[in-house]
Amino acid sequence: MHQEHTAMKVCTDACLFGAWSAADEQLQNAKKILDIGSGTGLLSLMLAQQSNAHITAIEIEAGAFKQTKANFGLSPWKERLDVVHTSIQDYAADDKKQLFDCIITNPPFYEQDLTSPDPAKNLASHSTALSWDVLAEAAAFLLQENGAWYVLVPTLRAYTMQKLALNYGLQLSEECLMYNDAKHLPIRAMLKFVKQKETVIQRNKIVIKNADQSYTTEFINYLKEYYLHL
């Protein structure tokens, strides 16, 4: 996975999020998937490996767009992968837009935190260019009925995302908390929303490392098809 032209590099939580999403039967059976904010193209490539879907990636930052395009071109699934250089707002407003069975997003996390001197990193990390409210609205607008939206957020802001999604008719279907280890609080929440009126919420967790800092069996089972050395 090449990442020299992207501000936000491949990280463990994104890899686990991609593997968790890709393991979901609804996503595996999807025909059309949208990746909002593709970065390196990591999530799209992981989903392509586990499905037969055609995947469209959206990326606003020029360097990340070029990186996604290059990584797609080198992959064995390149015939099912497209990337569009635009914002999700403009994409949703396009008359030629299509609806998707599933959408995946690793969105900008930060709102009022200290910004970086690197404009590309700010675009990738801070929600000034893409608020969560706008993101939730776009996801709901571009989903088929009964479609699913998978999103990664900081644990302390999971309820905020849940409330915003509900405003646009997206019900929380699953919440999986991600822990670095069993002794600390969870660092991320992996959320699945569905575009339907009612659903039963499943709640679970994944611990990345054992006390000796080795990877847990659960983490290995999720990532062994993607990591070369597990």
Question: What CATH number corresponds to the domain at position 66?
Answer: 3.40.50.150
Rounded CA separation 104/191 (Å): 10
Which residue reads 């890709």 in tokens? 22
Percent of the chain past pLDDT 70, that is, above it, reads 87
Is 183 a domain residue?
yes
Give residue 94's pLDDT band: very low, low, confident or very high (50, 70, 90): confident
- Residue 113 is encoded by which pair of tokens? 């935190």
pTM score: 0.88
The residue range of the domain holding 57 is 12-223
> Residue 190 in contact with residue 178, Cβ under 8 Å?
yes
Tokens of 81: 């992968």
7 domain residue, yes or no: no
Instruction: State residue 111's pLDDT score.
Output: 52
CA–CA distance, 165 with 139 (Å, rounded to integer):
9
pLDDT digits (tens, 9 = 90+) for 113-142: 444 444 444 444 334 457 999 999 999 999
Spatial CA neighbour of 120 closest among 202, 60, 34? 60
Return the residue matching tokens 């999986």.
176
* Tally of domains within the chain: 1
- Does 76 have pLDDT greater than 70? yes
Q: 195 is written with which tokens?
A: 């575009």
- The helix/strand/coil state of 82 is strand
Residue bearing the bigger pLDDT, 18 or 199: 18
